[in-house]
Structure 1
Amino acid sequence: MKIAVLYGGTSGEREVSLSTGKGIIKALKNNGHEVIDIDFSPERLEEVLELNVDLVFIGLHGRFGEDGKIQGLLDMLGLPYVGSGSLASALAMDKAKAKQIFSMNNIQIAKSKAYPVTDETDTMKIIKDVRKKFSLPFVVKPNQEGSTLGLTIVKTDDQIEEAIQLAASSDSTILVEEYVKGREVTVPVIGRQGEEQALPVIEIIPKNDYYDFDSKYKPGGSEHIVPAPIDLSLTDRLKKEAVLAHQELGCNVYSRVDFIINENDEPIILEVNTLPGMTPTSLFPDSALEIGWSYDELIQKFVELSTSGK
């Protein structure tokens, strides 16, 4: 097939996307496809508008990749692509909206509140409300951002204002969320809509305080244990809730669902990643390898799921 790979982009996750793109391009070529690679920028849309390909593989992360905008453009152009559509992508990227959907489906979430932030916003009002509704420690992060960019675990009162400003520098809405202490796990989901399966659960042991940008993307930044050393009933629950979250958001082909297992051994859902990292140190390929799928085979499965029956 003739496949275009969009990667790079202009978000804070550009470097990760460059690595993801390189991996996808190499795998597609190894699988015999003709590849057109595009380092995507909204300022060079003609590169996408003029595409004449069988399929687009989106290797972007963050804004203009994971938020549904590029998917909407490809839909208008009638170009098929790998992964979730515009609405599912936008919902998953909007953490506050996604949490509402999870809660409606009885998937346990951490207590949180979203606050719109503009140049006219009175930060002190937000701080006052946060102090009233949350007890230390808690998390402040942009509502729509990936790779824990702009995230602060607030442990002391004097950190609140700086944490809000940091999160607000990435987004016009910030999310304040109770801090859940526990084990970090993630569940890859793959399959046609209605036929999804969860791959082996991965436990993430970050070298830093939490699974931050360096832990995710620097070699040796975290340890991935596959399958996660947890009991069968909890494994089953994580897999079922991951598939349910994927389905209720309307995701397609693949996603990765992140959880924290709290001190009571209950899974608390964090988010659904519609375009999870596909770098050499990424989680999804690690899990696939556990059931015997090489990286190249995994990428080919995504292609087949995106084109069969169309």
Structure 2
Amino acid sequence: MSLDRKYHVAVLMGGWANERPVSLMSGEGVAKALEARGHRVTRIDMDRQVAARIAEAAPDVVFNALHGVPGEDGTVQGMFDLMGIPYTHSGLATSVIAIDKELTKQALVPHGVPMPGGRIVRSEDLFERDPLPRPYVLKPVNEGSSVGVAIVTADGNYGNPIARDAKGPWQEFASLLAEPYIRGREMTVAVIDGPEGPRALTVTELVPKSGFYDFDAKYTDGMTEHVCPAQIPDNIAALCLDYAVRAHRVLGCKGCSRTDFRWDDEQGEDGLFVLETNTQPGMTPLSLVPEQARHCGMSYEDLVEAIVAEAMRVHQKGGGKHG
């Protein structure tokens, strides 16, 4: 969906989450793309006076290029709703649910989207006993980009039980989500909205050069190989596309989303699990959504304009509310 006219777009980026550097890269890429298409752009680095700064700029629409809290958890979405300003990506309720991995499971699993089992644990309890048989994964409940993820193995160096002074997410978060570790391959699917509804692009396999696909592997050039499209059986690719669109629809995502998978290729279709759905996927030069869009014949500028066009369509359809 292309834009029918030129807009004044405020690109909101930065903020104070762990993913600030990534957000700044995403925001600058978006800003340059919009300027290249002739739109007027105001760059805004998120701070506590952001509402006043957006009101002063008086844009036609805000491109939300924030990652993590408070840009991805419903906080700024509620602010935009109160201000009556159109904005890109998902609305308040979707953002609240999708950033919380436990709430996401409660929403998606009843609709036939397979996700790993697991439970919330107190970090303090980890120093006494394991919450699950090893190997298992510990991750923050509401952070993205593999921030603070630990894989606890039988022969790992965290200790058994985990040592209080071992470096890991238990030092930063009072509670964590514990999930069984799924061996196998890491994959992801981008979904883009348009007038005809959401469309899954393709499947990318992520192959870290060493270890785990963590924050550094995601955003450091050369640390991860992107196999796009993934070299996987057709039935697995079709399932990935289906689950990604289903997650997008059930959660109520808008604009674009990216759903991450883990596939145990020894288990066939039964080994495919959704890990999470990202409502604010990265838009940096290394990011997966622009890469998949290019594979499908959509330039970076086309992608950015399509996301803005969807924001305007949602705003107009909702009578000034972000549906």
Same fold (TM over 0.5): yes
Shift of 1:236: 1.0
CA RMSD of aligned residues (A): 2.0
Corresponding residue for residue 41 of structure 2: 35
Q: Which one of the candidate residues 284, 305, 310 is aligned to 2:310?
A: 305
Q: Which one of the candidate residues 78, 82, 91 is aligned to 2:88?
A: 82
Corresponding residue for residue 205 of structure 1: 207
Q: Matches of residues 223-262 of structure 1 in structure 2 within 5 Å?
A: 223-262=225-264
Post-superposition CA distance 1:155-205 (Å, at most 9, x none)? 145363459984245444311111111111000001148711100111111
**Matched residue of 2:202: which SS?**
coil
Corresponding residue for residue 288 of structure 2: 283
Query: When the two structures are superposed, what TM-score results if normalisation uses the length of structure 1?
Result: 0.92
The separation in 2 between residues aligned to 1:291 and 1:73, in whole angstroms, is 34
Corresponding residue for residue 95 of structure 1: 101
The separation in 2 between residues aligned to 1:87 and 1:172, in whole angstroms, is 24
The separation in 2 between residues aligned to 1:159 and 1:293, in whole angstroms, is 49
CA gap 1:292/1:192 in 2 versus in 1, 3 angstroms: closer
The separation in 1 between residues aligned to 2:195 and 2:146, in whole angstroms, is 28
Q: Which amino acid aligns with 1:147?
A: S
The separation in 1 between residues aligned to 2:106 and 2:246, in whole angstroms, is 14
The separation in 2 between residues aligned to 1:116 and 1:194, in whole angstroms, is 44
Q: Which amino acid aligns with 2:97?
A: L
Q: Matches of residues 58-137 of structure 1 in structure 2 within 5 Å?
A: 58-115=64-121, 123-124=124-125, 126-128=126-128, 131=130, 133-137=131-135
CA gap 1:279/1:230 in 2 versus in 1, 3 angstroms: same
Post-superposition CA distance 1:82-137 (Å, at most 9, x none)? 110011011110001101212111211112101356xxxxx24x555x63x51111
- Asked whether 1:220 is paired with 2:212, we answer no
**1:151–1:163 Cα contact (<8 Å) kept:** no
Gaps of 5+ in 1: 118-122
Q: Which amino acid aligns with 2:218?
A: K
**1:140–1:163 Cα contact (<8 Å) kept:** no
**1:140–1:164 Cα contact (<8 Å) kept:** no
Gaps of 5+ in 2: 1-6, 317-323
Post-superposition CA distance 1:233-272 (Å, at most 9, x none)? 1111110111111111111111000001113133100000
The separation in 2 between residues aligned to 1:211 and 1:159, in whole angstroms, is 24
Between the aligned residues of both structures, percent identity stands at 38
Corresponding residue for residue 141 of structure 2: 143
CA gap 1:194/1:301 in 2 versus in 1, 3 angstroms: closer
Post-superposition CA distance 1:45-104 (Å, at most 9, x none)? 421343411100000001111111111100000000011001101111000110121211
Q: Which amino acid aligns with 1:175?
A: L
Shift of 1:33: 0.5
Q: Which amino acid aligns with 1:88?
A: T
**1:192–1:252 Cα contact (<8 Å) kept:** no
The separation in 2 between residues aligned to 1:220 and 1:233, in whole angstroms, is 30
**1:193–1:253 Cα contact (<8 Å) kept:** no
The separation in 2 between residues aligned to 1:161 and 1:91, in whole angstroms, is 32
Aligned length: 302
Shift of 1:307: 1.4
